[in-house]
Chains A and B, each alone.
Chain A
Amino acid sequence: DAMVIQNPRYQVTQFGKPVTLSCSQTLNHNVMYWYQQKSSQAPKLLFHYYDKDFNNEADTPDNFQSRRPNTSFCFLDIRSPGLGDAAMYLCATSRDLTRGNQPQHFGDGTRLSIL
């Protein structure tokens, strides 16, 4: 009964070829996050959606974009992947924060390789 589901688990793309990673949730959470985790490093927040409001971190490259067509789904688009974008990408969700900060629930991640 996975609650945050990321597809695919492993993605291989070519240098410069656009790629999309997907995340779906069954928790009906308001907030969805995307993190990038490079090898042996901590996850780093790229951006998040609070309902339909998109919030980009200041240092997230323009190459990274996101879409959230509905509550359940969120996509990470990398327009022109470079070798430095090879990483694990983690999706997370949390509840409406107006009731207080709630823990984030993570998916198992998508490991992206760039050829």
Chain B
Amino acid sequence: AQSVTQPDIHITVSEGASLELRCNYSYGATPYLFWYVQSPGQGLQLLLKYFSGDTLVQGIKGFEAEFKRSQSSFNLRKPSVHWSDAAEYFCAVGGRSGGGADGLTFGKGTHLIIQP
């Protein structure tokens, strides 16, 4: 069964500082990997995705993530955070299982706090 681990429940970063959110996955085949962001009371917005090819993927809002197969990781990074980045961040893995669509399996999320 597939699973996603986000080891950090909360992370506090100063505005302007760099950010890295960790994500490790378990999946039996080539994974499809996603990062979503959720503001309070809102749905999930896709930041970026990895399907294949270049292991460093660029997303919206200045985020990037690097797929490392050897470490089963897909960490999210941003060189300089803004106060508006404060939110919940979810890493997710998806794939196909014979003949149908797969829902996503999410990690438990990392709550990002930005301090002035």
Residues of A within 8 A of B (CB): 4, 6, 30-31, 33, 35, 40-45, 48, 50, 53, 55, 57, 90, 92, 94, 97, 100-101, 103-109, 111
Counting CB contacts under 8 A, is B34 at the interface? yes
Please report the total number of B residues contacting A with Cβ < 8 Å: 25
Closest 3 A-B residue pairs measured CB to CB?
A: A45-B103, A42-B106, A106-B43
Q: Is the CB of B43 within 8 A of A109?
A: yes
Q: Are B109 and A42 in touch, CB under 8 angstroms? A: yes
A101 x B103 contact (CB < 8 A): no
Assess whether B100 is in contact with A109, with CB atoms less than 8 Å apart: no
Q: Which of A4, A41, A100, A104 contacts B104 (CB 8 A)?
A: A104
- A53 near B51 (CB under 8 angstroms)? no
Which among B43, B101, B107 is the interface contact of A31 at CB below 8 angstroms? B101
Q: Are A103 and B34 in contact (CB-based, < 8 A)?
A: yes
Residues in B neighbouring A104, C-beta threshold 8 A:
34, 46, 94, 104
Question: Which residues 44-71 of B have a CB within 8 angstroms of A?
Answer: 44-46, 49, 51
Determine how close the nearest CB of chain A comes to the CB of B48; give it in whole angstroms: 9
Tell me whether B116 is interfacial, beta carbon within 8 Å: no
